[in-house]
Amino acid sequence: MLPQTQMLIVMIVYMVFLISWGIYQGMKVKSSTDFSIGGRVLPGWASALSERATGESAWALLGFPGAAYATGLMEIWTAIGCVFGVLFAWIVLAWRLQKEAQRYDVQTFTDYLAKRHASSGDTIRLLSSLTIVFFFFFYVGAQFVAGGKTLFTMFHLRPEYGMLITAAIIIPYTIFGGFRSVVYTDVVQALIMITTLIIGPIVGFIYIKTHPGVYAHSITAALKMAGPSYTAIAQGANGFQWGLIISGLSWMFGYFGGMPQLTTRFMSIKDHKNAKIGRNIGVTWTIIAYIGALSIGWIGIAIFGPHALGDREYVMPKVLLHIFPPSLAALLITGAIAAMISTADSLLILSSTELAENILSNKKTDKRQKLRLARISTAVLAVIALGVAFLSQRSNLISNFVFDLVSYVWAGIGGTFSVIVLLSLFWKKFNGPATIATIIIGITFTIIWISTGMNQKLITARIMTFLVALITAVVVTLITDKKSAA
């Protein structure tokens, strides 16, 4: 059997199973609360695996190994930043957000912010929902593009066909089962992702030790042969490398409660006991995954050399296809597609529920109507996002626009809403007017900072947005608190 035929069979079997599993879970959805946040009765292990699959997306299997392949040891700082952020989220925030969701009877991410600051609740609900729907709508389109690229690499399909296949997998069970279907399909995908990030490096280390035709027979030798920049961590680092260190560590800020697709996983957990179970699984998964992702990038240097790949983000599939038989490689590469799917469906359900619950619905809308609105919103947003993905393949301007918006999400949404969530949890004086001001200034600052090139010239927006949002939140809180006291 031809290698591509073997890979195709593995992919088809997996995709059919995934759709069937998602639809089965969707049969248990009975209300808009089930659809938008799983009824807030999900077990900790399911929420943890779903949060991790959604949080890492294709980054852990394509982007991050590619960065390790391109920069060597310097990428350790990104791993430290991300791992610290995830540890903080699960250890400090998860159980608190679970309790807050129960206390305020939360339906969505912005529902919590609106109810927590009830005096400005309507404005916060509308402003937050519009912001999230706009940015995440393009983010979904970018995931479709990534799916098309991966299927092109494996089967030489036109990217447009790959995007259609990716959308055809995601849309049915997401429309039918909403958050619950997304979470339980994420569980499967998280298991495939972590399997890939464990087995891939183990076999890779053995391969470079035992095969004569590789660039180097160890990671250490490969990094040394690649040049001084590949072995630099901090000592002797130049200005550019210090910029990479700061940029890597700055990823932690997005994990501080500001990414709605992750925070809703914490809110959906059944109780405090399950939050502890989720914490243990989430932390363990993250540490193993980042070690594995770094290792795959470095193994790519040892096998191919530092300049052999035209696109560094394909180092993971290239390595796996090189060291495994086609059928097994296909199963493991499915982890990359699984990562994209888990992010795309999570972003899609987040955007559609924010739209249905907080913009299209009103107090007179009953539960059955809300569920119907959520499903219609999901379908409409998915089709429009797919259209944006198609246009991005035909226009460099639109493609760059989508790429920029994905960058804006982690800085603008992540940095801004992290400040809001942290202060909502830990500062009693933090109020509605400060929340509104923080959203407006944080998002506006991010767009200006990135679009004027300051993100590359000076310092990453992931740090600057967090700091600007924090200063705004504190100053406006103190001003409005004094006025209310007077």
- Report pLDDT digits (tens) over 165-180: 777 777 777 776 777 7
pTM: 0.81
Residue 433: predicted pLDDT? 93
Give the 3-state secondary structure of residue 364. coil
Q: What band does 235 get if pLDDT is binned at 50, 70 and 90?
A: very low
Is residue 318 within 8 A of residue 304, CB to CB? The reply is yes
Total residue count of the chain as it appears in this document? 486
The yes-or-no verdict on residue 258 having pLDDT over 50 is yes
Give the 3-state secondary structure of residue 269. strand
Domain assignment present for 410: no
Residue 170: predicted pLDDT? 73
Residue 474: how many CB atoms within 10 A of its CB? 17
Residue 424: predicted pLDDT? 94
- Please give the residue that has the higher pLDDT: either 257 or 358: 257
Domain assignment present for 426: no
Residue 65: predicted pLDDT? 87
Q: What band does 406 get if pLDDT is binned at 50, 70 and 90?
A: low
Rounded Cα distance, 149 and 165, in Å: 12
The count of domains in the chain is 1
Give the 3-state secondary structure of residue 42. strand
- Which range is most confident: 201-215, 354-368, 399-413? 201-215
CATH number at residue 354: 1.20.1730.10
Is residue 228 within 8 A of residue 1, CB to CB? The reply is no
Domain assignment present for 16: yes
Is residue 260 within 8 A of residue 349, CB to CB? The reply is no
Averaged over 121-126, what is the pLDDT? 88
Is residue 253 within 8 A of residue 85, CB to CB? The reply is yes
Rounded Cα distance, 413 and 446, in Å: 9
Is residue 7 within 8 A of residue 329, CB to CB? The reply is yes
Domain assignment present for 479: no
Residue 362: predicted pLDDT? 67
Which range is least confidently modeled, 107-121, 232-246, 442-456? 232-246
β-sheet bridge partners, residue 269 = 42
Residues 6+ apart with CB under 8 A from 13: none
The one-letter amino acid at 59: W
Residue 58: predicted pLDDT? 66
Summarised one tens digit per residue, pLDDT across range 136-167 is: 767 777 777 767 766 776 677 777 777 777 77
Domain assignment present for 416: no
Q: What percent of the chain has pLDDT over 90?
A: 19
The yes-or-no verdict on residue 255 having pLDDT over 70 is yes
Range of the domain at 244: 3-26+42-393
The yes-or-no verdict on residue 291 having pLDDT over 80 is yes
Summarised one tens digit per residue, pLDDT across range 26-47 is: 777 776 666 666 667 888 899 9
- Which range is most confident: 354-363, 375-384, 443-452? 443-452
Cα distances (angstroms) measured from residue 260 to each of 19, 68, 113, 430: 24, 27, 11, 20
Residues 6+ apart with CB under 8 A from 135: 405, 408, 409, 412, 413
Which range is least confidently modeled, 40-44, 235-239, 469-473? 235-239
- Please give the residue that has the higher pLDDT: either 91 or 341: 91
The yes-or-no verdict on residue 315 having pLDDT over 90 is no
